[in-house]
A = this chain, B = another copy of it.
Amino acid sequence: MRGMSLSSPPWVVPLNTASATPVYVQVARGLAARIEGGDLADGTALPAERELAGTLGVSRVTVRQALALLAQQGLLTRRHGSGTFVHAPAPERAPRPLGLLTGFSDDIRSRGQTPGARVLGFECAHPTPREVMTLALSPTDTVYRVRRLRTADGEPLAVEESTLPASVMGPLSEDDVTDRSLYGLLAARGLSPVRAVRHLRAVNAEPELAGWLGVSPGAALLATERVSWTADGRPIEHARAHYRGDRYDFVMELHGGRTG
């Protein structure tokens, strides 16, 4: 018994009943932190719901609500009749992080590779009719258009073409986009996208694209088109990209609602 109070078991979590955040959320967050922090190893069995409830001083229903939340997030697995087990996000189980609201550079870095860019074209022009639609512009507005070959560890991976409204973006030069993350630049100017709609298709490579990417004409490419909006609801970017099908794997995680 000596010294046990110095380190409480990993499923003991501080609770504040006076707090505005519900107790079951506090329990869930506490356990999630212990799981992600490695205090609760993968496969570990949690105490029984009744015991956990007693230890934490809450009702079993509250514990169940917390556990349901974590199971929904994939951090726990519940097996009727045998118990509740930790399902830690082991690095080797999630070989690649998720393609989310990030730009190419972050995406590649999160795969453990080094992103690069080579500018193929830079212009300041009027928007195409399509860009007028997607970026909510008038035909007389001006836009920046950047075309870059994107590389991962020096190998060609994608050709990316971005269009940004000059009115929202502010001044932009070719140097700004050479070997720099466009999303990083947007963030530096307080224009980080908070919402985006992205389309994905599969296309056969045209000769010009095939040449840039180092694949045979006709090779399968993942074609994406994305429109991003800033927090105040203005469109900030219309990006079109063609990824090498043999080197790029788009990953996403989808969640349903919550139990409540």
Contacts and interface: CB of A to CB of B under 8 A. Distances in A.
Nearest to A136: B77
A251 B77 contact: no
Contacts of A122: none
A195 B232 contact: no
A77 B232 contact: yes
Contact of A204 (B136, B196, B219): B219
Nearest to A258: B72
Interface residues of A, number: 57
A249 to B, nearest CB: 5
Interface string A49-69: 000000000000100000010
B255 A259 contact: yes
Q: How many protomers of this protein does the assembly include?
A: 2
Contacts of A156: none
A219 to B, nearest CB: 7
Taking each of A77, A192, A202, A253, which has the highest tally of chain B beta carbons within 10 Å of its own beta carbon? A202
A1 interface: no
A203 to B, nearest CB: 5
Contacts of A196: 253-254
Interface stretch (A7-15, A95-103, A174-182): A95-103
A111 interface: no
B100 A259 contact: yes
Interface string A215-234: 00011111100000101111
A202 B243 contact: yes
A109 interface: no
Given A76-B233, A258-B72, A218 B204 contact: yes
A43 to B, nearest CB: 11
B199 A202 contact: no
A71 interface: yes
Given A72-B259, A253-B196, A257-B194, A233 B78 contact: yes
15 contacts: A72-B231, A73-B195, A73-B257, A100-B254, A101-B254, A193-B256, A194-B256, A195-B254, A200-B251, A201-B245, A202-B223, A202-B243, A203-B245, A218-B218, A231-B256
Given A68-B257, A198-B253, 5 more contacts: A195-B255, A198-B252, A200-B222, A222-B222, A253-B260
Interface of A: 61, 68, 70-79, 87, 96, 98, 100-101, 136, 192-204, 218-223, 229, 231-234, 243, 245, 248-260
